[in-house]
Chain A
Amino acid sequence: MSIPFFQVDAFTDKAFGGNPAAVCPLDSWLHDSQLQAIAAENNLAETAFFVPKDGEYHIRWFTPTVEVDLCGHATLASAAIVLRHLEPTRQKVVFQSQSGPLIVSRAGDRLMLDFPVRPVEAVELTPAIVAALGGKPLKAYKGVRDYVVTYANAEEIRALAPDMAKMAAIGPFAVTAPGTKADGDVDFVSRYFAPAEGIPEDPVTGSAHCSLVPYWADILGKTELRARQVSARGGELWLRLKGDRVEIEGQAVLVIQGELFL
């Protein structure tokens, strides 16, 4: 038996940049243990599986070790496969997931994810946080999932070498700073670390921008923002705050198309 296999780099227009995801369209669901074994074999941060249902798709995401309830970059990657390969005449696609419906639409040569906003509140910048992250953090905030810690400039963000063991004991962190000319005049840059979830550093993190966007929209007094995640692979995002939603636009590039043999 064989199933289709795609590998897509999300939030980039260049192969080998952005955040890689495996995408396996299925006719019907395989057993959970098979889905998990395939994701382990792919060994990427996430493998997305989806099955057509009533003009929409039912989507699930697996890391090499567990199923997760939401993954932005693998959803963007899945939408790229649906809208460019499987159903090239469609303008948008709805994925039904454990986290509710996720809509991805065409936006020129980009794709747009519509995600819930996750506002942040100021929290104490504790010595434990400073010790975990290093550098000279300015302020700390916390949303429903992530800590957001601010720095003075992009160079400091790039130079950070966090202590993953200390960080794992606290929680996932987005670190952020204003963008500069060197970063293509983006409004802000970020990096994202989730060692407790098995991701020391994530190359590009759509969902972290659910908290970064309301923070920067407030600071900069605008709702349309451009951002760069300055990980080694790097990624670029176009963002819009719309009430209690965040629109996240990015590019996606197909790098491998093939078949898996089970």
Chain B
Amino acid sequence: MQLPVYKLDAFAGAPFSGNPAAVCPLESWLPVSAMQAIAAENNLSETAFIVRRCDRDYDIRWFRPTDEVDLCGHATLASGKLVLDVLERGRCTVVFHSKSGPLIVERTGDGFALDFPMRKPRQIPITDEIVAALGAEPLELLEADRWVAVYPDAKSVRTLAPDMAAVARFPVRGIGVTAPGCGEDHDVDFVSRYFAPRVAVPEDPVTGALHCVLAPYWSARLYPRTNFTARQVSRRGGQLKVALKGDRVRLEGQAVLTMAGQFSL
């Protein structure tokens, strides 16, 4: 049996940057064990499986090498790029139905936009443990569906070398860090990085969901602005446009097709 497989770099303008994802378009769902084995074989952070429906929407599920996940931004952007630029070239919008509800990917000027729920953070106390784990004292610590530590400048974020074992001990799915764009990052409004060793991702190259927390934070801090350019300054690096729209966040980025092939099963 042959099965198409594609790999794309999401939130990237060129190959070898951004966050890689595999996408497998299916005629109909495979057994979960088969999808899990395919995701393990791909060995990327996420493999998305998409099935076209009669109403021209798609159903989507995401698998890491070890388990299924409820939501994955970068593999959804990759799936959107694949549908709108490769599988159904010329189409402008696609809806993916997922365990986390419908996700819309829309073609924009030079990329694709995702519409996500906003996650408004609240301030929590900075502890000695968090300072020790991150290796530098932040200005603020925020909590939403994950934690975010705010630093004074982009350089502090770039040079951070967290103690992953210590970061993994906090009862939270992951810890993001952010700072205003300045110095070599003066061309963007803010930068970020994201560490999730607790779920076996020491550092994520580019994290869509983190920006659902960062958008309301930076919008309050840079009031009344609601549109931002952002860079995730991981080793691979990623570039995003972020817009706060009421209780939704619009994430915009590019994606690059890096591999097209066939699985033989």
Contacts and interface: CB of A to CB of B under 8 A. Distances in A.
Contacts of B7: 41
A44 B43 contact: yes
A interface SS class:
strand
Given A15-B265, A16-B37, A41-B15, A260 B43 contact: no
Interface in B206-265: 256-265
Contacts of A259: 259-261
Contact of A43 (B37, B44, B260): B44
Contacts of B20: 41, 43
Contacts of A254: 264
Contact of B259 (A9, A255, A258): A258
A257 interface: yes
B40 interface: yes
A260 B40 CA distance: 20
Contacts of B184: none
Contact of A16 (B15, B40, B256, B257): B40
A41 B256 CA distance: 12
Q: How large is the interface on A (under 10, 10 to 19, 20 to 34, 35 or more residues)?
A: 20 to 34
B41 interface: yes
A20 B5 CA distance: 16
Interface string A23-52: 000000000000001101101100000000
B258 A261 contact: yes
Nearest to B44: A43
A176 interface: no
A256 interface: yes
A262 B15 contact: yes
Interface string A3-21: 0010101000001100010
29 contacts: A5-B259, A5-B261, A7-B41, A7-B261, A15-B37, A15-B41, A15-B263, A15-B264, A15-B265, A16-B41, A37-B16, A38-B16, A41-B7, A41-B9, A41-B15, A41-B258, A43-B20, A255-B41, A255-B264, A256-B5, A256-B41, A258-B259, A258-B261, A258-B262, A259-B259, A259-B261, A260-B259, A261-B256, A261-B258
**For the complex of A and B, 5 pairs with smallest distance between CB atoms:** A258-B261, A37-B16, A16-B37, A256-B261, A260-B259
